Amino acid sequence: MAEIKTPIIAVNFKAYFPYSFGEYAVMLARAAKRVWEETGVQIILIPPATEIKTIINEVKDTEILVYAQHADPIEPGAKTGYLPLEGLKKAGVHGVLLNHSEHRLILADINFLIQKAKKLGLQTLVCADVPETGAAVAILNPDIVAVEPPELIGTGIPVSRARPEVVTNTVNLIRKVNKNVLILTGAGITTGEDVYAAIKLGTVGVLVASAIVKAKDPYTVMKDMAIKAKEAMT
Protein backbone atom coordinates (compact mmCIF):
# COMPACT_ATOMS: atom_id res chain seq x y z
CA MET A 1 0.00 0.00 0.00
CA ALA A 2 1.33 3.45 -0.93
CA GLU A 3 2.35 5.73 1.91
CA ILE A 4 0.24 8.79 2.63
CA LYS A 5 2.41 11.80 3.42
CA THR A 6 1.40 15.15 4.87
CA PRO A 7 0.30 17.86 4.29
CA ILE A 8 -2.46 16.71 1.95
CA ILE A 9 -4.35 18.47 -0.84
CA ALA A 10 -7.14 16.10 -1.92
CA VAL A 11 -8.92 17.20 -5.10
CA ASN A 12 -12.43 15.85 -5.67
CA PHE A 13 -13.22 16.23 -9.39
CA LYS A 14 -16.93 15.52 -8.72
CA ALA A 15 -18.91 15.35 -12.00
CA TYR A 16 -18.65 18.93 -13.22
CA PHE A 17 -19.04 19.06 -16.99
CA PRO A 18 -16.82 19.59 -18.84
CA TYR A 19 -14.25 20.30 -16.12
CA SER A 20 -14.06 16.79 -14.61
CA PHE A 21 -13.81 14.87 -17.87
CA GLY A 22 -11.66 14.27 -20.93
CA GLU A 23 -8.99 16.84 -21.73
CA TYR A 24 -10.02 18.96 -18.74
CA ALA A 25 -9.37 16.08 -16.35
CA VAL A 26 -5.99 15.51 -17.99
CA MET A 27 -5.17 19.20 -17.53
CA LEU A 28 -5.98 18.90 -13.82
CA ALA A 29 -3.73 15.87 -13.49
CA ARG A 30 -0.86 17.65 -15.24
CA ALA A 31 -1.29 20.68 -13.01
CA ALA A 32 -1.19 18.40 -9.96
CA LYS A 33 1.94 16.68 -11.23
CA ARG A 34 3.66 20.05 -11.68
CA VAL A 35 2.68 21.18 -8.18
CA TRP A 36 3.91 17.90 -6.69
CA GLU A 37 7.23 18.23 -8.51
CA GLU A 38 7.68 21.79 -7.25
CA THR A 39 6.47 21.41 -3.65
CA GLY A 40 6.50 17.72 -2.70
CA VAL A 41 3.08 18.13 -1.07
CA GLN A 42 0.92 15.00 -1.02
CA ILE A 43 -1.80 15.33 -3.64
CA ILE A 44 -4.75 12.96 -3.89
CA LEU A 45 -6.77 13.13 -7.12
CA ILE A 46 -10.34 11.82 -7.01
CA PRO A 47 -11.70 11.66 -10.57
CA PRO A 48 -14.98 10.20 -11.87
CA ALA A 49 -14.87 6.47 -12.55
CA THR A 50 -14.77 7.12 -16.30
CA GLU A 51 -11.47 8.99 -15.94
CA ILE A 52 -9.63 6.77 -13.45
CA LYS A 53 -7.36 4.95 -15.88
CA THR A 54 -6.49 8.14 -17.76
CA ILE A 55 -5.57 10.01 -14.58
CA ILE A 56 -3.53 7.10 -13.22
CA ASN A 57 -1.57 7.05 -16.47
CA GLU A 58 -0.95 10.80 -16.31
CA VAL A 59 0.54 10.71 -12.79
CA LYS A 60 2.47 7.45 -12.99
CA ASP A 61 6.02 7.65 -11.65
CA THR A 62 4.95 10.26 -9.08
CA GLU A 63 3.79 10.06 -5.45
CA ILE A 64 0.37 11.45 -6.37
CA LEU A 65 -2.41 9.13 -5.19
CA VAL A 66 -5.57 8.44 -7.19
CA TYR A 67 -8.82 7.55 -5.39
CA ALA A 68 -12.24 6.59 -6.69
CA GLN A 69 -15.14 8.87 -5.75
CA HIS A 70 -17.27 6.06 -4.34
CA ALA A 71 -17.57 2.32 -3.93
CA ASP A 72 -20.66 0.22 -3.35
CA PRO A 73 -20.87 -2.12 -0.34
CA ILE A 74 -21.32 -5.27 -2.41
CA GLU A 75 -19.58 -8.45 -3.40
CA PRO A 76 -18.81 -8.72 -7.14
CA GLY A 77 -21.42 -10.55 -9.18
CA ALA A 78 -24.74 -9.88 -10.89
CA LYS A 79 -24.88 -6.24 -9.76
CA THR A 80 -25.46 -4.04 -12.79
CA GLY A 81 -24.33 -0.43 -12.39
CA TYR A 82 -22.45 -0.89 -9.11
CA LEU A 83 -18.80 -0.22 -8.28
CA PRO A 84 -17.23 -3.03 -6.23
CA LEU A 85 -13.89 -2.38 -4.56
CA GLU A 86 -12.34 -5.30 -6.42
CA GLY A 87 -13.01 -3.63 -9.75
CA LEU A 88 -11.61 -0.31 -8.58
CA LYS A 89 -8.45 -2.00 -7.36
CA LYS A 90 -8.11 -3.69 -10.74
CA ALA A 91 -8.40 -0.26 -12.36
CA GLY A 92 -5.36 0.81 -10.36
CA VAL A 93 -6.66 3.20 -7.71
CA HIS A 94 -4.80 3.65 -4.43
CA GLY A 95 -7.95 4.24 -2.42
CA VAL A 96 -11.55 5.38 -2.31
CA LEU A 97 -13.58 8.33 -1.05
CA LEU A 98 -16.60 7.26 1.00
CA ASN A 99 -19.69 8.91 2.48
CA HIS A 100 -19.40 12.27 0.76
CA SER A 101 -22.46 14.39 1.57
CA GLU A 102 -23.50 13.99 -2.07
CA HIS A 103 -23.28 10.19 -1.86
CA ARG A 104 -23.93 9.11 1.70
CA LEU A 105 -23.71 5.63 3.15
CA ILE A 106 -25.04 4.11 6.36
CA LEU A 107 -22.48 3.35 9.05
CA ALA A 108 -22.68 -0.43 8.55
CA ASP A 109 -21.84 -0.02 4.86
CA ILE A 110 -18.96 2.34 5.65
CA ASN A 111 -17.57 -0.30 8.01
CA PHE A 112 -17.98 -3.03 5.37
CA LEU A 113 -16.07 -0.97 2.82
CA ILE A 114 -13.28 0.10 5.19
CA GLN A 115 -12.63 -3.48 6.28
CA LYS A 116 -12.76 -4.84 2.72
CA ALA A 117 -10.48 -2.03 1.49
CA LYS A 118 -7.89 -2.99 4.11
CA LYS A 119 -7.93 -6.59 2.88
CA LEU A 120 -7.48 -5.39 -0.70
CA GLY A 121 -4.67 -2.98 0.19
CA LEU A 122 -6.72 0.13 -0.59
CA GLN A 123 -6.82 3.35 1.40
CA THR A 124 -10.04 4.98 2.61
CA LEU A 125 -10.97 8.65 2.96
CA VAL A 126 -14.29 8.92 4.78
CA CYS A 127 -16.30 12.15 4.91
CA ALA A 128 -18.27 13.35 7.92
CA ASP A 129 -20.75 16.20 8.17
CA VAL A 130 -20.40 16.94 11.89
CA PRO A 131 -17.80 16.21 14.61
CA GLU A 132 -19.85 13.35 16.08
CA THR A 133 -20.01 11.57 12.73
CA GLY A 134 -16.28 12.11 12.35
CA ALA A 135 -15.65 10.36 15.66
CA ALA A 136 -18.04 7.53 14.75
CA VAL A 137 -16.25 6.75 11.49
CA ALA A 138 -12.81 7.23 13.10
CA ILE A 139 -13.59 4.26 15.37
CA LEU A 140 -13.79 2.15 12.20
CA ASN A 141 -10.14 3.04 11.53
CA PRO A 142 -10.10 4.51 8.01
CA ASP A 143 -6.88 6.10 6.78
CA ILE A 144 -8.34 9.61 6.57
CA VAL A 145 -11.43 11.39 7.91
CA ALA A 146 -12.58 14.64 6.30
CA VAL A 147 -15.13 16.85 8.01
CA GLU A 148 -17.30 18.85 5.59
CA PRO A 149 -20.40 20.76 6.76
CA PRO A 150 -22.76 20.25 3.78
CA GLU A 151 -24.21 23.76 4.02
CA LEU A 152 -20.82 25.28 3.17
CA ILE A 153 -19.90 22.99 0.26
CA GLY A 154 -19.51 24.96 -2.95
CA THR A 155 -20.24 28.31 -1.28
CA GLY A 156 -16.71 29.71 -1.29
CA ILE A 157 -17.16 30.31 2.45
CA PRO A 158 -14.40 28.23 4.08
CA VAL A 159 -15.28 26.10 7.07
CA SER A 160 -11.88 26.95 8.57
CA ARG A 161 -13.00 30.56 8.90
CA ALA A 162 -16.81 30.48 9.01
CA ARG A 163 -17.11 27.62 11.49
CA PRO A 164 -13.67 26.88 12.97
CA GLU A 165 -15.32 25.20 15.96
CA VAL A 166 -16.50 22.40 13.65
CA VAL A 167 -12.89 21.64 12.80
CA THR A 168 -11.52 21.87 16.33
CA ASN A 169 -14.40 19.86 17.80
CA THR A 170 -13.88 17.19 15.16
CA VAL A 171 -10.18 16.97 15.90
CA ASN A 172 -10.80 16.75 19.63
CA LEU A 173 -13.49 14.06 19.36
CA ILE A 174 -11.57 11.96 16.86
CA ARG A 175 -8.39 12.03 18.91
CA LYS A 176 -10.31 10.57 21.86
CA VAL A 177 -11.07 7.43 19.85
CA ASN A 178 -8.28 7.26 17.26
CA LYS A 179 -4.81 8.70 17.68
CA ASN A 180 -3.54 7.77 14.23
CA VAL A 181 -6.18 8.62 11.62
CA LEU A 182 -5.33 11.60 9.41
CA ILE A 183 -7.83 14.48 9.59
CA LEU A 184 -8.79 16.81 6.74
CA THR A 185 -11.42 19.48 6.42
CA GLY A 186 -13.38 20.70 3.43
CA ALA A 187 -16.33 22.83 2.32
CA GLY A 188 -15.73 26.27 0.87
CA ILE A 189 -11.93 25.95 0.81
CA THR A 190 -10.89 28.43 -1.88
CA THR A 191 -7.44 29.89 -1.23
CA GLY A 192 -4.09 29.05 0.26
CA GLU A 193 -4.99 31.09 3.31
CA ASP A 194 -8.02 28.86 3.87
CA VAL A 195 -5.72 25.83 3.78
CA TYR A 196 -3.28 27.48 6.19
CA ALA A 197 -6.13 28.21 8.64
CA ALA A 198 -7.45 24.64 8.38
CA ILE A 199 -4.08 23.11 9.25
CA LYS A 200 -3.54 25.52 12.12
CA LEU A 201 -6.85 24.24 13.56
CA GLY A 202 -5.36 20.76 13.85
CA THR A 203 -5.87 19.07 10.48
CA VAL A 204 -3.18 17.87 8.08
CA GLY A 205 -4.79 19.22 4.92
CA VAL A 206 -7.95 19.80 2.96
CA LEU A 207 -10.48 18.20 0.62
CA VAL A 208 -11.16 20.63 -2.23
CA ALA A 209 -13.40 20.54 -5.30
CA SER A 210 -14.70 23.47 -7.36
CA ALA A 211 -12.02 25.96 -6.28
CA ILE A 212 -9.47 23.90 -8.19
CA VAL A 213 -11.55 21.86 -10.66
CA LYS A 214 -13.43 24.86 -12.11
CA ALA A 215 -10.58 27.35 -11.83
CA LYS A 216 -9.33 29.15 -14.95
CA ASP A 217 -5.82 28.25 -13.83
CA PRO A 218 -5.94 25.14 -11.61
CA TYR A 219 -2.15 25.02 -11.32
CA THR A 220 -1.92 28.46 -9.69
CA VAL A 221 -4.70 27.73 -7.19
CA MET A 222 -3.26 24.31 -6.32
CA LYS A 223 0.27 25.69 -6.01
CA ASP A 224 -0.91 28.44 -3.63
CA MET A 225 -2.68 25.86 -1.47
CA ALA A 226 0.34 23.56 -1.45
CA ILE A 227 2.73 26.33 -0.43
CA LYS A 228 0.47 27.51 2.38
CA ALA A 229 -0.03 23.93 3.55
CA LYS A 230 3.72 23.49 3.89
CA GLU A 231 4.04 26.79 5.74
CA ALA A 232 1.29 25.80 8.17
CA MET A 233 2.88 22.41 8.90
CA THR A 234 6.25 23.98 9.71
Nearest to 225 by CA among 69, 207, 216: 207
Q: What percent of the chain has pLDDT over 70?
A: 94
Query: What average pLDDT score do residues 25-42 get?
Result: 98
Query: What average pLDDT score do residues 14-42 get?
Result: 97
Q: What is the pLDDT of residue 162?
A: 59
Q: What is the pLDDT of residue 163?
A: 67
Q: What is the pLDDT of residue 156?
A: 59
**Tens digit of each residue's pLDDT (9 = 90 or more) over 129-178:** 888 899 999 999 999 999 877 665 555 556 666 567 778 888 899 999 99
Q: What is the pLDDT of residue 141?
A: 97
Q: What is the pLDDT of residue 165?
A: 79
**Tens digit of each residue's pLDDT (9 = 90 or more) over 207-222:** 999 999 999 999 999 9
Higher pLDDT, 15 or 200: 15
Q: What is the pLDDT of residue 153?
A: 54
Please state whether beta strands 42-46 and 65-68 pair in parallel, antiparallel, or not at all (unpaired). Answer: parallel
At residue 121 the predicted structure's pLDDT band, cuts being 50, 70 and 90, is very high
Nearest to 198 by CA among 65, 5, 8: 8
Q: Which of 148, 165, 193, 231 is catalytic?
A: 148
- The answer to whether residue 132 is catalytic is no
* 126 bridge partner residues: 98, 145
Instruction: Indicate the average pLDDT of the chain.
Output: 92
Q: What is the pLDDT of residue 168?
A: 83
Query: What average pLDDT score do residues 45-69 get?
Result: 97
Q: H-type helices in the chain, by residue range?
A: 22-39, 52-58, 85-91, 107-120, 131-138, 159-162, 164-177, 192-200, 210-213, 218-233
Q: Which of 58, 70, 94, 100 is catalytic?
A: 100
- The answer to whether residue 148 is catalytic is yes
**Tens digit of each residue's pLDDT (9 = 90 or more) over 58-104:** 999 999 999 999 999 999 999 999 999 999 999 999 999 999 989 99
Query: What average pLDDT score do residues 188-214 get?
Result: 91
Angle at Cα 109 formed by Cα 107 and Cα 110, nearest 5°? 65
Q: What percent of the chain has pLDDT over 90?
A: 79
